[in-house]
Amino acid sequence: MSGWRRNEGRNASGGDIYGKKKQQGPGMNDMSGGNYVTEDGRKIGGVLMEMKNITLRFGGVTAIKDISFDIHEGEIRAIIGPNGAGKSSMLNVISGFYNPQEGEVFFRGSKRPPMKPYQVANQGIARTFQNIALFEGMSVLDNVMTGRLTQMKTNMLAQAIWKGKAEREEVENRELVEKVIDFLEIQAIRKTPVGRLPYGLKKRVELARALAAEPKLLLLDEPMAGMNVEEKEDMSRFILDVNDEFSTTIALIEHDMGVVMDLSDRVVVMDYGKKIGDGTPDEVRNNQDVVDAYLGVSHD
Ligand SMILES: Nc1ncnc2c1ncn2[C@@H]1O[C@H](COP(=O)(O)OP(=O)(O)OP(=O)(O)O)[C@@H](O)[C@H]1O
Ligand SMILES: [Mg+2]
């Protein structure tokens, strides 16, 4: 596991409690195309995912109105906005839970046809949910194992015929799952039924399950909601470490502005289904439309 950037950040700047060193790298003009190195030495590549003119309606409600943005390889991209802004809906479009009525989704350079969530998962996109979705009666270990399901090559029939191959796959899956459990420091609770865990640990188990799928792109819907400051610091550190160690690209929704400002490379701001800001944390913080949306200034 990489260094404890949380403390480095705190010691260096005094106010940077969630740890990533402040972006002092290239300005937005350089960053918008990707392919740069961040202040803390992470390599950001080109466009991994591009959402083009996405519109999503539920009956009379337009949850997303003509939104475009991209996600660069290796970056931590935040999606923020007031309640009901359409953030979860956007994550649900990326993960294939909803297919938008209008717009196009490009992943790894190819236009993605409408897909089912499992097909999107097979492409290397894993997620956690705003409301934790774990099997409460099952152990932590078994829950994390379910994250491997999309990766399993051997089906039931093949398992019966080629026992050796299936066994090998099982062993490999177990090894990877144990690695994830170590990484997220949940060894001590690996046999505990999830239903007995406190909320903060459940959130970490959900992250573990998503990581077990070895995603290229990890989607986190409010990974720190309902956590105390210490739990948020831990979760922030794990998110940074995942990004750093495995070069996993991360898109996350978060309400805590301290977390967003410290963790993310770029931020998309939504309000009433529209995109009202897009840029570095500093850029969006100084954007008047964003300030107004958060202060509840009325909309025309
Ligand atoms: N399945 C659905 N059916 C009907 N309307 C929906 C559905 N999902 C979301 N909506 C509506 O779409 C809008 C955006 O909701 P969404 O959950 O995406 O917001 P959000 O930004 O994630 O909010 P929050 O911060 O409260 O989680 C809301 O008006 C919501 O009521
Ligand atoms: Mg939401």
Higher-confidence residue of 258 and 70: namely 70
**In testing the pocket of ligand 1, which one of 58, 65, 220 has its CB within 8 Å of the most ligand atoms?**
58
pLDDT of residue 81: 95
3-state helix, strand, coil in the chain (%, to 5): 40, 25, 35
Domain boundaries, given as residue ranges, for the chain: 5-15+34-124+215-295
pLDDT band of residue 204 (cuts 50, 70, 90) is very high
Closest ligand to Cα 84: 1
* pTM for the structure as a whole: 0.88
The residue-averaged pLDDT of 114-143 equals 92
Which ligand 1 atom is nearest residue 87's CA?
21
Which ligand 1 atom is nearest residue 90's CA?
18
Are 217 and 89 in contact by the 8 Å Cβ rule? The answer is no
Pick the CATH number of 5-15+34-124+215-295 from 3.40.640.10, 3.10.20.30, 3.40.50.300, 2.10.109.10: 3.40.50.300
What does each C-alpha distance from 190 to 143, 174, 199, 219, 281 come to in angstroms?
Answer: 10, 12, 16, 23, 37
Q: How many Å lie between the centroid of ligand 2 and the Cα of residue 155?
A: 35
pLDDT band of residue 29 (cuts 50, 70, 90) is very low
- How deeply is 175 buried, as exposed, middle or buried, from its count of CB atoms within 10 A (0-12, 13-18, 19+)? exposed
